[in-house]
Amino acid sequence: MAESVQDVDVQGEQLVLLPETPPKPKAKRIKLDDLPPVHVKPVPEWLPGMMHVGVFQSIAVIAREDGGYRMADGRRRVATARLARERGGSIDDVPALVFPAGTPVSVAAAITLMANLQRAPNPANELEAIEQMMELFSKVVDGVT
């Protein structure tokens, strides 16, 4: 990664800025068994669709030096895909955006959320992405909600 995340003090609040040159993820398919455990519940409403057609929306992961992955976005999709497979679905892998090793989770998640907002206008998707961004940055930015 060419540049790192910067902490900036703005009127007494610590903000985290994305690098001027953000890391470029690579699109690929990753086997469910190669992903780390996720500690979230599957989404029952997604199960019928995943049983029949699999996962459409990419998850975001960060490559680890040891060859594994660290989750940045898509834990509920992974949990639901694993449940679909347990129930007889033919899901072996999921589409993923793979960020280079060393990318901070906050940067990968922010880039993924921004991409979600750029998709075709859908108020539900926009609301979900905004809520995720607020949750992400409430953890990253101390004292700002």
CATH classification at residue 87: 3.90.1530
> Is 12 part of any domain?
no
Q: How far apart are the first and last CA of the chain?
A: 29
Domain residue limits at 61? 22-140
- In-domain check, residue 10: no
Q: Specify the pairing of strand 59-63 against strand 93-99.
A: parallel
Q: How many domains does the chain contain in total? A: 1
Distance of CA 15 to the CA centre of its chain: 21
pLDDT digit string, tens, across residues 55-91:
988 998 999 999 999 998 889 999 999 999 999 989 9
Asked, for residue 39, whether it belongs to a domain, the answer is: yes
3-class DSSP state for residue 62?
strand
Task: Report if residue 48 sits inside a domain.
Answer: yes
Angle at 124 between CA 75 and CA 110, to 5 degrees: 50
Query: Could you tell me the two tokens for 69?
Result: 């992955």
Give the predicted TM-score (pTM) of the model: 0.69
Considering the chain, what percentage of its residues have pLDDT values greater than 90? 45
